[in-house]
Each structure stands twice: as C-alpha cells, then as structure tokens.
Amino acid sequence: MARVDKITWTIEISKDLEGIYNFYAGKSEKAANRVINEIISEVENLKFARQYQTDELNPNYRRIIVGHHKIVYRITQNELVVLRAFDTRSNPEKQALGS
C-alpha cells in the first residue's frame, strides 16, 4: 500500500467546506467548527492512500464518510488529492464527479 506523503486540497473542496461551515454556523458556530475540524482531521489522519472505500458513483475515486458528509479523493503516486465534500443525505446525482 502506498503511504500518503502529501495531501492537496482543491479549490472545490475549499468551497464545499465553506458551504458546510456556513450551513452549520447559521445554527451554531461551535457546531460548524466541530464539523469542519472533524472532516479535516479524518483526511489528515489517513495513513495509506487506499485506506477507505472506492466511491460507489465513480470507482476512480475513494471516499471517507464523516458524519453526514462524504469526502471524495483520488490518489496520485503518494499524494492524496481531496476533491469534494457532499452531504450524504442529498440526491446522489449531485454527488457525481467526472472521470
């Protein structure tokens, strides 16, 4: 198994995390911080690139489920590229990524 040496966060995931934060902050800033910190912590604690499941919508990607959020990433050499975050309660068609 390839060890993760580098994690890259895309612009899209940054926007997704901002949207998640804003959604929860409307209810509680403490909750918003907790959710975002949990997502970031789970990604940063990956030890091996293939540690989590292949995404059911696109097998070229892998996923981590954190609470109500699916975090989608891909593997390039020893780099993990974090692509998107989706609410798992949303329509699966909204979660589709290109190949």
Number of domains in the chain: 1
Cα separation, 99 vs 1, whole angstroms:
23
- Give the range of the structural domain holding residue 74, as residue numbers without chain letter: 6-95
> Which of the four pLDDT bands, split at 50, 70 and 90, describes residue 91?
low
pLDDT attached to residue 58:
79
User: Judging by DSSP bridges, how do beta strands 69-76 and 79-87 pair with one another?
Assistant: antiparallel
- Structural tokens at position 57: 């919508």
pLDDT attached to residue 90:
67
Instruction: Evaluate whether residue 17 is within a structural domain.
Output: yes
Distances (CA, A) of 72 to 26, 27, 58: 25, 26, 10
- Structural tokens at position 29: 């800033």
* pLDDT, tens digit, 9 for 90 and up, residues 10-55: 999 999 999 999 999 999 999 999 999 999 999 988 776 555 677 7
Mean per-residue pLDDT for 78-97? 76
Domain CATH code at residue 82: 3.30.2310.20
User: Judging by DSSP bridges, how do beta strands 6-9 and 79-87 pair with one another?
Assistant: parallel
Instruction: Evaluate whether residue 1 is within a structural domain.
Output: no
pLDDT attached to residue 8:
94
